[in-house]
Amino acid sequence: MLRVRCLRGGSRGAEAAHYIGSQLGRSFTGWVQRTFQSTQAAAASQNSCAVDDNKVTAPVPEDCPVCSYNEWDPLEEVIVGRAENACVPPFSVEVKANTYEKNWEFYQKFGGQSFPRDHLKKAIAEIEEMCNILKMEGVIVKRPEPIDWSVKYKTPDFESTGMYAAMPRDILLVVGNEIIEAPMAWRARFFEYRAYRPVIKDYFHRGAKWTTAPKPTMADELYYQDYPIHSVQDRHKLAAQGKFVTTEFEPCFDAADFIRAGRDIFVQRSQVTNNSGIEWMRRHLAPEYRVHTLSFKDPNPMHIDATLNIIGPGLVLSNPDRPCHQIEFFKKAGWTVVSPPLPLIPDDHPLWMSSKWLSMNVLMLDEKRVMVDANEIPIQKMFENLGIL
């Protein structure tokens, strides 16, 4: 799901307590200590949706539907995806690189076809119940359009079928009053944006800024066609060398590789986000925002939320199985770094494209309330110990 609008009495433009010098390719040096801004005072001092308390940006209508700067402000509006008509992506090189060998036969057999009907039925029901819970909490819920993802399409560079519109967080990034469409890196997700266009156009007509990042051709040159990934050891070695299935042929990124903390936005180079994509975002958001690249001991990086999740001002969850190489900088800067407990997802769960650490990919309703998996008792207790219910 995607955080679209947060309460105009939350921290809105409050920065992280500390930030990193963010030149691409340079080491993280010169951490500059900054005091926390009073979030209530920041909100009271402005009538518009602006990012810096000392610098007024272009005026934004008070009823602007898009206004979100971080992952923890009181949530007012959200986009929740759909699992209807979800299809298995064709087994192309980028899909192979992002999945494990035990699942390759599944993709080879069912690529372009529907996911198992019983799983889809359960997923649809769970998503509907999540929407009901959010509505009961007073949150406005928007949904993408249902689309037939089994339809085959062809560009001058490739042909594919679609996948789903289940993960708006993957394709859309809200920064302030701007909603950014990510270019994506999987061919099966090339046209995924179409499901969200009606919602985005409505936001635009009501005052939001709308940006579409340059769409990659997704030609063969964007991918290492002979990317060696026969074992976890191969993946660890390649990731440590900074080698991923995507090349630097053209910018590409998934929105879910970025995570926000006011004017500071953190990102990882991953299988679906290349350095060119990170640099495009850095230039696009400068000078109001700083984009910092992090790296992790992760054999298959793809989307940051289940690896590092910022859940409050100076409060971050750090996956113990995928340690962040720069985590000491967070600690030295005064952040509270919490290691979440091991997840309880059973070993027989398919997890075709995900890991058990989805348990830490949570939704903050505000600084003191969180939505978590009902089965993940250990992480529920962790949040309770943090004073988050």
User: Is 40 domain-assigned?
Assistant: no
User: Is 87 domain-assigned?
Assistant: yes
User: What H or E segment, with its residue span, contains residue 290?
Assistant: strand 290-294
DSSP-assigned letter for residue 164 = -
User: Is 179 domain-assigned?
Assistant: yes
The number of domains in the chain is 1
Token output for 325? 């190489």
Q: How far apart are CA 337 and CA 201, in angstroms?
A: 38
Looking up tokens 């156009």 gives 201
Helices (H), the chain: 39-44, 93-97, 104-110, 117-136, 168-171, 197-205, 232-240, 275-285, 327-332, 377-385
Q: How far apart are CA 176 and CA 309, in angstroms?
A: 19
Task: Note the pLDDT of residue 147.
Answer: 97
Task: Note the pLDDT of residue 150.
Answer: 97
Q: Quote the domain boundaries for residue 265.
A: 77-386
Question: Mind listing the pLDDT tens digit for each residue in 205-225?
Answer: 999 999 999 999 999 999 999
User: Is 55 domain-assigned?
Assistant: no
Beta strands 290-294 and 264-268, pairing class: parallel
In three-state secondary structure terms, 284 is helix
Using CB atoms within 10 Å of the CB of residue 386, give its burial: 0 to 12 exposed, 13 to 18 middle, 19+ buried.
middle
Answer positive or negative: Cα dihedral of 235, 236, 239, 240: negative
Task: Note the pLDDT of residue 61.
Answer: 64
Domain at 265, CATH number: 3.75.10.10
User: Residues of the chain whose pLDDT is less than 50?
Assistant: 9, 11-57
User: Is 304 domain-assigned?
Assistant: yes
Please tell me whether the overall predicted TM-score, pTM, comes out greater than 0.95 for this model. no
Question: Mind listing the pLDDT tens digit for each residue in 11-52?
Answer: 443 344 333 333 223 333 333 233 233 233 333 333 344 344
Give the CA angle between residues 21, 248, 97 to the nearest 5°: 105
Task: Note the pLDDT of residue 59.
Answer: 53
User: Is 101 domain-assigned?
Assistant: yes
Nearby residues of 149 by Cβ (< 8 Å), 6 or more positions away: 85, 86, 87, 161, 162, 163, 164, 165
User: Is 245 domain-assigned?
Assistant: yes
Q: How far apart are CA 206 and CA 381, in angstroms?
A: 41
Strands of the sheet containing 336-338, edge to edge, are 308-312, 315-318, 336-338
Task: Note the pLDDT of residue 276.
Answer: 98
User: Is 223 domain-assigned?
Assistant: yes
